[in-house]
């Protein structure tokens, strides 16, 4: 299948929208060349990633997503546990300080993390390293009993907005 410019590999959705692929040196919809320095090629890992999810039950729906590379799983899991298991509001669940285990198996804590938990993990032999920054960012929207609630992560100065 061809896209609008006759390039092989187009899809019906892209053809209808006028969006072209992201390959380097390919003309876009406005006939401008792409000059993306971080162009990905087959088999390469993206420099960043995200993780959207939709959780649905009979009484509510939760749409949640995160960005932040290797910290995505930690951010999402922490938020979901705090919201669904511990009953915190979306805003509080996202705001709750997290811990992160890095690729060297060292535990890093956000500055406001519970000192009692930190000391208990140290007593169990976990190695702690200072965290220079936490860049996991979680955003969520929930529909519950006819009301819509939204929350955005303060770590990236996010604010939920709506009408």
Q: Compute the distance between CA of residue 121 and CA of residue 154 in angstroms, rounded to an integer.
A: 26
Asked whether residue 49 is marked as a ligand-binding residue, the answer is: yes
Please say whether the beta carbons of 70 and 103 come within 8 A.
Answer: yes
Q: Is 48 annotated as belonging to a binding site?
A: yes
Task: Classify 100 in phi/psi space as left (phi over 0), alpha (psi -120 to 50) or beta.
Answer: beta
Any binding-site annotation on 69? yes
CB 105 within 8 A of CB 127: yes
Cβ partners under 8 Å of residue 141, min gap 6 = 62, 63, 64, 148, 149, 150, 160
Q: Output the known binding site for L-glutamate.
A: 48-49, 69
Q: Output the known binding site.
A: 48-49, 69
């Amino acid at each position: 299948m061809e896209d609008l410019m006759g390039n092989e590999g187009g899809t019906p959705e892209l053809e209808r929208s006028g969006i072209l692929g992201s390959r380097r040196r390919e003309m876009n919809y406005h006939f401008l060349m792409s000059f993306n320095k971080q162009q990905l090629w087959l088999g390469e890992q993206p420099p960043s990633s995200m993780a959207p999810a939709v959780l649905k039950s009979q009484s509510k729906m939760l749409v949640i997503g995160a960005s932040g590379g290797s910290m995505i799983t930690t951010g999402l899991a922490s938020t979901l546990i705090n919201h669904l298991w511990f009953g915190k509001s979306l805003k509080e669940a996202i705001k709750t300080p997290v811990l992160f285990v890095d690729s060297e198996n060292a535990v890093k804590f956000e500055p406001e993390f519970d000192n009692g938990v930190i000391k208990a993990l140290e007593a169990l032999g976990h190695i702690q390293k200072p965290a220079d920054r936490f860049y996991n960012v979680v955003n969520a929207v929930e529909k519950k009993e006819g009301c819509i609630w939204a929350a955005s992560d303060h770590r990236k100065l996010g604010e939920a907005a709506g009408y």
